[in-house]
Amino acid sequence: MENTTIKKQTIFSGIQPSGQLCIGNYLGALLNWTKLQDDYNCLYCIVDMHAITVRQNPAELRRRSLDTLALYLAVGLEPEKNIMFIQSHVPAHAELAWVLGCYSMFGELSRMTQFKEKSVSNADNINAGLFTYPVLMAADILLYQADLVPVGQDQKQHIEITRDIATRFNSVYGDTFKTPEPFIPKEGAKIMSLTEPTKKMSKSDLSGGSIFLLDDRDTIIRKVKRAVTDSGSEVRYAEGKDGINNLLTIYSCFTGKTIAESEKEFGGVGYGDFKLAVGEATADALARIQSDFKQYLSDKEQLNGILKESSERAAYLARKTLSKVYRKVGFYSL
């Protein structure tokens, strides 16, 4: 029989357990991940080492790391198909990050938008980890020879620097790393804050601009009702209508309709009724995730089992790349 087996490509992505996950994380990343699990070898990481670049409460970080795994499962990532693990459980991430740090330039790291923004929002703690954050991210991705990295728009620059670091290393030592491509969804790649629709929605915004995956129905509907829009009255995707554009995007992503279909549906409808529909569609979609989340979280033994098995599988794959790198740079081995 003709051998038609095509080797599956590898996917790597991660989320920081640095706050409650919001619908930006879901629509920009998680939703995309669930669509890839049948066709790719997928590794999805809970990047706790990245999270400590900003001060974390230790008990909360521990709890959120497990919550994040329960959410990965609740959105539909199956443990049989995906390697889901915690970054600090696989030491090769830190080890490769050190080596790659010696092939990353001060200038290029200084130009990272996220570093510049976080230096402003964390002015009292601009630590070295915040600066070398993209190097650890490059290590995450390159360790597994990932082909694709499904992320939201805000992480594109970090994938670009990962490619630059990989290319630089390969040009010195010969082919060592695959250069990964970003994989960004067409809709939902940049969900904006409900209260400041020119700003990205984030996990850390507790002022009502973010809808969290575990928000209850009333909270979701109230937040959408208060969303900033414009002085117009037409539900239409257009320049200058950032608030409405964002709500249309959220509605389309949660219902699976196109923006054009959604515009048509709300032709002649006022902002108030439109907002109610967006809130309800969001709450309906999240209710399903929330009930599965509760169930997964109630079985800690199962969660620990998944983490243990996954980190062993990840460590095995990571070790292969790390050994190659150590040999190439000239580390003496026994």
* Smallest distance, ligand TYM to C-beta of residue 57, A: 17
Which 8-state DSSP code applies to residue 87?
G
Selected catalytic residue, list 203, 223, 241, 275: 203
CA distance 248 to 266: 10
Closer residue to ligand TYM (CB): 152 or 279: 152
By three-state DSSP, how is residue 287 classified?
A: helix
- Find the shortest distance in angstroms from Cβ 162 to ligand TYM: 8
CA 142 – CA 180 distance, rounded (Å)? 8
The region of 11-19, 73-81, 170-178, 307-315 touching ligand TYM under the rule CB under 6 A is: 11-19
Please provide residue 185's backbone torsions phi and psi, each rounded to the nearest 5 degrees.
-65, 150
Copy the structure tokens of residue 216.
């209850």
Minimum distance, C-beta of residue 21 to ligand TYM, in the bound complex (Å)? 8
Least separation, in Å, of the C-beta of 217 and ligand TYM? 21
Among residues 272, 278, 280, which one has the least CA distance to residue 218? 280
Catalytic residue, candidates 178, 200, 223, 275? 200
**Among residues 213 and 221, whose Cβ is nearest to ligand TYM?**
213
User: Shortest gap between Cβ of 204 and ligand TYM (angstroms)?
Assistant: 9
Burial (CB count <10 Å: 0-12, 13-18, 19+), residue 258: exposed
Q: Is 118 assigned a catalytic role?
A: yes
Query: Contacts with ligand TYM in 93-152 (CB under 6 A)?
Result: 137, 140-141, 149, 151-152
Cβ of 61: how many Cβ atoms within 10 Å?
A: 16
| Segment near ligand TYM (CB under 6 A); pick from 59-67, 118-126, 165-173, 196-204 | 196-204
Contacts of 281 (CB under 8 A, 6+ apart): 250, 251, 254, 255
**Does position 15 bind ligand TYM by CB under 6 A?**
yes
Strand partners, 181: 148
Q: Considering the rule CB under 6 A, would residue 182 count as an interface residue with ligand TYM? A: no
24 touches 152 (CB < 8 A): yes
Indicate which single residue of 10, 11, 20, 24 sits in contact with ligand TYM (rule: CB under 6 A): 24
Q: Can you tell me which residue has the tokens 């329960």?
A: 70
| Catalytic residue list | 118, 200, 203
Residues that bind ligand TYM (CB under 6 A): 12-16, 24-25, 27-29, 47, 50, 137, 140-141, 149, 151-152, 154-155, 158, 189-191, 200-202
